[in-house]
Structure 1
Amino acid sequence: MYSSVGVIESARKVFCEMPERNVVAWTAMVSGYISIGELEMARLVFDWASQRDAILWNAMISGYIVLRRDMEAARELFDRMPDKDRDVMSWNTVLLGYAESGDIEAGERFFMEMPEKNVFSWNGLMGGYMRHGRFLKVLGVLHRMLRSPTGVLPNDATLVAALSACSKLGAVNIGRWIHVYAETSGFGGNIYVGNGLIDMYSKCGCINDAMLIFRSMETKDVITMNAMIGGLATHGRGVEALELFEHMLREGERPDGITFVGALSACVHAGMVEKGYAYFRLMAEDYSITPWIEHYGCMVDLLGRAGLFNEAIDFIASMPLKPDCVIWSALLGACQVHNDVRLAKLVMNKIIKLEPEDVTNYVALSNIYGAAGRWREVAGLKWAARNNNSRAKLPGCSFVEIDFEVVEFCSFDARHCKTSEIYQVLHGLKELLKSAGYEPEVYEPVI
């Protein structure tokens, strides 16, 4: 009890006065020290322990992972653990450590060594790949899980991770398959899966499917509302997003910071400046939510797109937070919409001071100059980008889904076995578009 509330000195006194100490007492002291960040003391008690079981070993291993991200020490302790104490939870603890530390390749190797895997093992591996942007790998783990002879089946967390990967990849057909699997496997009424489906369909361009899921859900929470409001806003259906937001408020449901990001984004898409101001004030006055940098960014975007540049600049000046590149980039985007070259140059100077080596900043202003036909300025930016040793722009990568398989391709990619045929088709499509009257905007590249 004492260690669990952090009164570690009282716990230590009681512990020292005990005539006999069992494994529960040793575990309580180790866990108590870990809970207050005293890893060295926890290890000292652990080494003194006359009895150890799986729970005690797992607590100490977890301490190294949670407090230090020290996978070397955690793995050393795991390897010392007697086989009789090493259970699937022990393996999962180390696997999760590898996933969170970023060494997902070591985590994959460790996963393959596991003599027994449960659903949390599979979810841990998926979560590691998800955390580090390896979305194709996430879907690959799901495929392996479903084909595994162990018979371990996905739970709601498994499906949510897979749906999130689909949303990142735009893999709507795989997402639809997961939807069918969820419905036929007893997850049809699961709120977490429902939220994941709304998010996936919205981000894959299927907003009507997202609406169908939303309307079919008997239970909704703030995450449900956020996903639907954000999805509608992203698809340019700002009025519908705001109607849903207003309905949420009338029903007495409490919005959070993410809800207001969606509502303000909807105001941007709908061009509703006054309503945006009203929601921004409402957030702090009625719901005690301190605005985030994302909220300020939405307001700058709203004012800028409406052509209210003086108001946008005054708004930035009044911010209690220091404007970052998100804020200035929102204003730069508005400059591009209204072709305001003079202000764009001033804003660009702010951005370059914050991120002088990011070449994408030069690209944005170059596009504005190019649209205005100011090629001398474009050439000047090209020289400035090289002179400032700006980071080279990474080749853009995209994903395409064909026959339930997601394939990655990058600019000037030549990895595919049918590269020549692919480029022939792309050239044909380009000529077809040109013959139909389409003229792409092509500007002088900055780098």
Structure 2
Amino acid sequence: MSLKLSLRFYKDMIEKGFVPDNFTLPFVLKACAQAQALREGEGIYVYAIKSGFVFDVYVGNTLMRLYVVCGVIEAVRKVFDGNFHRDLVSWTTLIQGYASMGFSREAIGVFLDMGSDDNLRVDEMTMVIVISTCAKLGDLDLCRKIHEYIFDNFVKVDVYVGNALVDMYVKCGDVDFAFKLFQEMPEKNVVSWNSMILGLAQKGDFKETLSVFRRMQRENVKPDDVTLVGVLNSCANLGVLELGEWIHAYIDRNRIKADGFIGNALVDMYAKYGNIDKAFGAFENMKRRDVYSYTGMIAGHIGLVEEGCRYFEDMSRLYNLQPQIEHYGCMVDLLGRAGLINEAEKFIKSMPIEPDAFVWGALLGACRLHGKVKLAESIMKRLVEIEPDKEGAFVLMSNIYSSANLWRDDAMKVRKSIKERNMKKTPGCSTIELDGVVHEFRKGEKSHPQATEIYKMLYQITNHVRGTTEARKYAR
């Protein structure tokens, strides 16, 4: 029933001498809440105070709900504190009110206060709200306390509570435990799979992300938009073109709109593969574009300077989208890779925002490509000021010196600085896709099950190359 109709019946009822009671008022207040009609709802509230029905638990709960949807948290708390007859709905509504308005700590505080009432038994719905609120805080210790409460109070862990727990541990940084919970869940839905896929991708474990997706397919769970974005991002980072193209075909086959996150993920994936035509095709097919769409196209047009610059300018000129630090970094990378080092420097000086490590790092990378040692040294000083504990700039500077045959003095000094600062270089890692399976290799690692055969083949290839080189030398 519409608000207008509800209020008309309510008004007719009073005019004909009938007195609204604690059954009538909740229905009218519910209609006000659905329409977010705060002024009309407060008129009902005045009547409830005069008639004494404001102390009725059902009237109070519906009134609290009205204030929650209208975003008036002070009024929610006032009604709650003024009502001595509270039930689980009263507490849950207050918790949800604080949580929905961004007061996560206060929401958890109310939940902990609620635990002191021995007459209340928390249900799954309340628990999901509390777990989701805890996830927003990112507090792992609090996360574990909430999980402990569930076990201690025998709260039923259905699929919704399970999903919320997995999501909470992912967002609080313990992806491994989230995966353990996910494995143990007796019932899963698409949200369960999405939580794990996005969690693993966020951790950077892209190989495991794709493994979970393949398992999802085997169990005949239909992926949704969230699934596809997580998998496309993992394909982009691993360079798994075959699966990425299969996902794109799946999107087209099922007539899924490739806008927003999905469109951006497609653009980013093809740009990282270096397939600019397909990246541009995905970009052109997007009905709605945002800053991330343009980031993908700018980054993808490395070597196509004019087009990249045009996309950068179009962001603000045509679409009123203000470039962020990532876009400036992409432009520096674009100019630097093309050998336009002076232009890249001028671009940085003209930036309306302070350049960060990403921007300077892009220019340092260009210095390595084009042998600009002196400029690299000045950039290095800036990077050390911004990120004194990161080893990336030191390693890159060492490589620049080595490429310029300055290994003995300058490169060794940089290597010594790395040791003195107790920095550890992240081992090099590469991946290759073969028959739909991704194989990962790290520098110096021999844990691959076919390591013996692989090194044997590399030895044969190396000898063959050496033999061919020697033969050509003598042929001259």
Interval containing the TM-score (normalised by the shorter chain):
0.7 to 0.9
What secondary structure, in the 3-state scheme, does the structure 1 residue paired with 2:301 have? helix
Tell me which residue corresponds to 1:26: 91
Offset of 1:166 from its aligned partner? 0.9
Residues 332 and 347, structure 1, Cα contact 8 Å, conserved in 2: yes
> Structure 1 residue aligned with 2:275, among 184, 206, 221?
206
Residues 88 and 121, structure 2, Cα contact 8 Å, conserved in 1: yes
Residues 111 and 130, structure 2, Cα contact 8 Å, conserved in 1: yes
In 1: Cα distance, 2:360 partner to 2:249 partner: 43
Deviations 1:48-98 (A, max 9, x none): 374644322322333333335222122123224555x54321111111111
In 2: Cα distance, 1:218 partner to 1:346 partner: 42
Tell me which residue corresponds to 1:233: 301
Return closer, same or farther for 1:16/1:395 CA change in 2, 3 Å cut-off: closer
Does the alignment pair 1:102 with 2:173? yes
Offset of 1:29 from its aligned partner? 1.5
In 2: Cα distance, 1:44 partner to 1:404 partner: 53
Does the alignment pair 1:54 with 2:119? no
Deviations 1:172-221 (A, max 9, x none): 1122333344444x244453545433332332333334445455x47443
Does the alignment pair 1:333 with 2:333? no
Does the alignment pair 1:122 with 2:193? yes
Tell me which residue corresponds to 1:276: none
Return closer, same or farther for 1:204/1:109 CA change in 2, 3 Å cut-off: same
Question: What is the TM-score of this pair, normalised by structure 2?
Answer: 0.70
Tell me which residue corresponds to 1:253: none
Tell me which residue corresponds to 2:265: 196
Q: Aligned partner of 1:374: which letter?
A: L
Tell me which residue corresponds to 2:135: 65
- Give the number of equivalent residue pairs: 397
In 1: Cα distance, 2:295 partner to 2:231 partner: 17
In 2: Cα distance, 1:170 partner to 1:414 partner: 22
Tell me which residue corresponds to 1:167: 236
Higher Rg: 2
Offset of 1:3 from its aligned partner? 3.9
In 1: Cα distance, 2:287 partner to 2:341 partner: 43
What are the residue-to-residue correspondences of 1:353-392 with 2, within 5 Å?
353-378=385-410, 380-381=412-413, 384-385=416-417, 388-392=420-424
Q: Aligned partner of 1:121: which letter?
A: S
Return closer, same or farther for 1:26/1:354 CA change in 2, 3 Å cut-off: closer
Deviations 1:2-45 (A, max 9, x none): 34555444223323444754543332112224442313234214
What secondary structure, in the 3-state scheme, does the structure 2 residue paired with 1:221 have? coil
In 2: Cα distance, 1:385 partner to 1:370 partner: 16
In 2: Cα distance, 1:98 partner to 1:50 partner: 26
Residues 166 and 178, structure 2, Cα contact 8 Å, conserved in 1: yes
What is the alpha-carbon root mean square deviation over aligned residues? 3.7
What are the residue-to-residue correspondences of 1:291-440 with 2, within 5 Å?
292-298=324-330, 300=332, 321-378=353-410, 380-381=412-413, 384-385=416-417, 388-430=420-462
What secondary structure, in the 3-state scheme, does the structure 1 residue paired with 2:433 have? strand
Residues 301 and 334, structure 2, Cα contact 8 Å, conserved in 1: no
Return closer, same or farther for 1:397/1:340 CA change in 2, 3 Å cut-off: closer
Q: Aligned partner of 1:124: which letter?
A: S
Tell me which residue corresponds to 1:221: 289
> Structure 1 residue aligned with 2:148, among 76, 88, 111?
76
Percent identity, aligned pairs only, is 36
Consecutive unaligned residues in structure 2, runs of 5 or more: 1-65, 470-476
Q: Aligned partner of 2:289: which letter?
A: D
Return closer, same or farther for 1:46/1:289 CA change in 2, 3 Å cut-off: farther
Higher RCO by CA contacts (8 Å cutoff, separation 6 or greater): 1
In 2: Cα distance, 1:314 partner to 1:75 partner: 54
Return closer, same or farther for 1:430/1:237 CA change in 2, 3 Å cut-off: farther
Return closer, same or farther for 1:221/1:50 CA change in 2, 3 Å cut-off: same
Q: Aligned partner of 1:229: which letter?
A: M
In 2: Cα distance, 1:300 partner to 1:190 partner: 29
In 2: Cα distance, 1:21 partner to 1:302 partner: 62
Return closer, same or farther for 1:163/1:72 CA change in 2, 3 Å cut-off: same
Consecutive unaligned residues in structure 1, runs of 5 or more: 246-262, 265-278, 438-447
Tell me which residue corresponds to 2:49: none
Residues 195 and 227, structure 1, Cα contact 8 Å, conserved in 2: no
Tell me which residue corresponds to 2:27: none
Question: What is the TM-score of this pair, normalised by structure 1?
Answer: 0.74
What secondary structure, in the 3-state scheme, does the structure 1 residue paired with 2:247 have? helix
Offset of 1:230 from its aligned partner? 3.6
